[in-house]
Structure 1
């Protein structure tokens, strides 16, 4: 069945969102040519001007680049997945694209440092779960992240304390085992420079520019399920879609 434009978002945003999802899922891998403006126009039954805006959006987001003689080429290596992407893709059964993987380096129960305790809403020193992973793209480290959970999940979700990767993803595993499903989230980002720990984990020079993030995943009651911190290498775009209502 041919795709059809629905009259919610502007047509060019709907089409851009569809192609972006194909890039993020790996269906359109790095180096792959996306449809031409004329093909997009015909496939989605939109004007050439609207199709041109679609490609312009993807270029502006760093997801495609123009290559003489070939057209618009996917530059997936410039895109950084957000915490929201990780949660949503996990619940949809998609974790990593073919050229991506992750290694769990640390999975342990530790006393909560004050900042982590504040983020999780527990007293400082309370036992919490610390789970650290390094993500790779084409076998090159792209980000290192640490997820923190309340210690009580050790009883209901014991695999959080194992360094084996969870096939269904952490958010879905916690939802299945503890009965707490993600309902909302909050992300914070800042530009920074690589610390000694970042340098060692990502194999980049000390002081290199990085994007540092922290995020909260909340259940329907507003309680924190997971607090995360991560750092990504430079020259990658983080994209967020949002609605503004009056």
Structure 2
């Protein structure tokens, strides 16, 4: 069935460009974003269109108005997913925006749990690399804590994964490069849940507190699972996804 090529409305295109600057870190927390007047002048659009740009960014939880200043970046309610970090790594070579950082809590080889083995296509108990980290925001408040698993056979090609030190480009991109490939697909699932004792301690929450749980799978172009990860993030932090859809049922 033929379809029409319908580009996004101008206000969504402009909002998308500013959103990319925020998610990549080019616009940092507290930075002023262009005013409606600046948007109208720069993009040669009507003031009504420019106003819709800022309203869209506010609805996505990326900016907030500040009296006497204008509209500023406010990512405090945004949860950066594994896909966001993979995109940032591909675009900038780093997975965290300025001011954000991770502390690697542990790294090493261990027998695969049933879930990690199934995700990686290995037998339960097979050697896997396990890395655990906690991510912090600019105010040094923990935002999320996570664990990644890799096929233990990768330890010979990517020994850095066994060291409890940060890998600037991200573990998935690092592992894929050592395998001579790139991450082609990132699959993510999210659900509401409660923090177990380890997660709660790392996030500074009482055990059993509500958290956003995530499970991520990073695949190479041939379908090989390069990394499998599980995470727990603070509540009241939004996950942002944008989809392009076609008309019809």
What TM-score comes out, normalization by structure 2 length?
Answer: 0.90
1:198 aligns with 2:202: no
Structure-2 residue corresponding to 1:221: 222
Aligned residues: 240
Verify the 8 A CA contact 2:176 2:220 in the aligned structure 1: no
Verify the 8 A CA contact 1:216 1:226 in the aligned structure 2: yes
Aligned residue runs from structure 1 range 1-246, under 5 A: 8-92=7-91, 93-138=93-138, 139-245=140-246
Give the Cα separation in 2 of the matches to 1:32 and 1:51. 18
2:23 partner SS: helix
Select between 140-149 and 204-213 the one with higher mean Cα deviation. 204-213
Verify the 8 A CA contact 2:106 2:133 in the aligned structure 1: yes
Deviation per CA, 1:28-55, whole angstroms, max 9, x where unpaired? 2222221111111111122222222211
Structure 1 residues 111, 245: closer, same or farther in 2, change over 3 A? farther
Deviation per CA, 1:45-95, whole angstroms, max 9, x where unpaired? 222222222111111111111233332221122211111111121122132
**Aligned-pair CA distance for 1:27:** 2.4
Select between 170-179 and 38-47 the one with higher mean Cα deviation. 170-179
Give the Cα separation in 2 of the matches to 1:66 and 1:32. 11
Give the Cα separation in 2 of the matches to 1:245 and 1:227. 31
**Aligned-pair CA distance for 1:121:** 1.3
Give the Cα separation in 1 of the matches to 2:235 and 2:130. 25
Verify the 8 A CA contact 1:89 1:95 in the aligned structure 2: yes
Moved runs in structure 1, 4+ residues, more than 3 A? none
Structure-2 residue corresponding to 1:3: none
Verify the 8 A CA contact 1:154 1:160 in the aligned structure 2: yes
Give the Cα separation in 2 of the matches to 1:95 and 1:185. 14
Give the Cα separation in 1 of the matches to 2:208 and 2:37. 45
**Aligned-pair CA distance for 1:245:** 4.2
Give the Cα separation in 2 of the matches to 1:117 and 1:207. 26
Verify the 8 A CA contact 1:25 1:94 in the aligned structure 2: no
Give the Cα separation in 1 of the matches to 2:132 and 2:9. 40
Verify the 8 A CA contact 2:94 2:168 in the aligned structure 1: no
Give the Cα separation in 2 of the matches to 1:198 and 1:76. 22
Select between 22-31 and 125-134 the one with higher mean Cα deviation. 22-31
Structure-2 residue corresponding to 1:4: none
What TM-score comes out, normalization by structure 1 length?
Answer: 0.91
Unaligned runs of 5+ in 1: 1-6
Verify the 8 A CA contact 1:77 1:236 in the aligned structure 2: yes
Deviation per CA, 1:146-186, whole angstroms, max 9, x where unpaired? 11111111111111111111133222322322113111121
